[in-house]
Amino acid sequence: MPWDRNQMAARAAQELQDGYYVNLGIGIPTLVANHIPAGVEVTLQSENGMLGIGPFPYEDEIDPDLINAGKQTISELPSTSYFGSADSFAMIRGGHIDLTVLGAMEISEKGDIANWMIPGKMIKGMGGAMDLVAGVKKIIVVMDHCAKDGSPKFIPGCSLPLTGTNVVDMIITDLAVFHRADHDSPFELIELAPGVSAEDVAAKTTAHYDVAV
């Protein structure tokens, strides 16, 4: 049985280590915050200028001056600090953030990622995605294994415009987990969702990868 959104998020959360500073993208990545392992202290960064994101606010705590990078209202913590956008991306670009979890449309076997535009569709922009994949120490992608039409998303080379080249460290899909030790190594299939076989994954993947399950 493939993993659902929450299970994928929970799997990503297993990569969190005590003391990590983490930036979570919009969508499934946001759910990772609900699965932080016990005893692990993680500080969440929001690229619009905040370290130490709290949960969504109570109705009477809502503050228009306090939003995350998805423009959602949030709350602060006692450890929170605020800063401007230049300082925020100095932090990201400078490699001070330990981990980011992002969604993607396509990932290539070389670790390229495409997640910001589809030619012919209205372009909304890359936001902070290009900065995050270029700067953060470890990049985890969480995405459905296949597109809605059934076509593979982990492929030999991306067909969509890229967000970054050779940047992805780990891919968590609803079917499997792929990982690589460094950016010169190929991805390895290291884990399968319950009831999913390595053959199932192979049938739905065109990227080359090593198998370690």
The site for another protein (CB under 8 A) is made up of 18-19, 21, 41, 43, 45-52, 55-59, 62-68, 70-74, 76, 78-97, 112, 122-131, 134-135, 161-166
Could you tell me the CA-to-CA distances from 162 to 26, 103, 121, 141 in Å, in that order?
18, 13, 15, 14
Secondary structure of residue 63 in the 3-state scheme: coil
Name which of 167 and 196 has its Cβ closer to another protein. Answer: 167
Tokens read off for 52: 């130490």
Neighbouring CB atoms inside 10 A of 103's CB total 17
- Reading the block at residue 174, the tokens are 């609803």
The minimum distance between CB 70 and another protein, in angstroms, equals 7
Query: Active-site residue 47, yes or no?
Result: yes
Short-list 118, 87, 102, CA closest to 167:
102
The answer to whether 97 touches 21, Cβ cutoff 8 Å, is yes
Q: Which residue is catalytic, options 15, 47, 106, 109?
A: 47
Using the minimum distance from each CB to another protein, give the nearer residue, 101 or 196. Answer: 101
Residue 11 Cβ, how far from another protein at the closest point, in Å?
23
> In the complex, what is the shortest distance from the CB of residue 43 to another protein, in angstroms, rounded to a whole number?
7
Which residue, 14 or 165, is less far from another protein as judged by CB? 165
* Of residues 7 and 82, the one with the C-beta less far from another protein: 82
Minimum CB separation of residue 111 from another protein in Å reads: 11
The HSE-up count of residue 149 (CA atoms within 13 Å, CB side) is 3
Bridge partners for 177 per DSSP: 172, 191
| Residues with catalytic function | 47
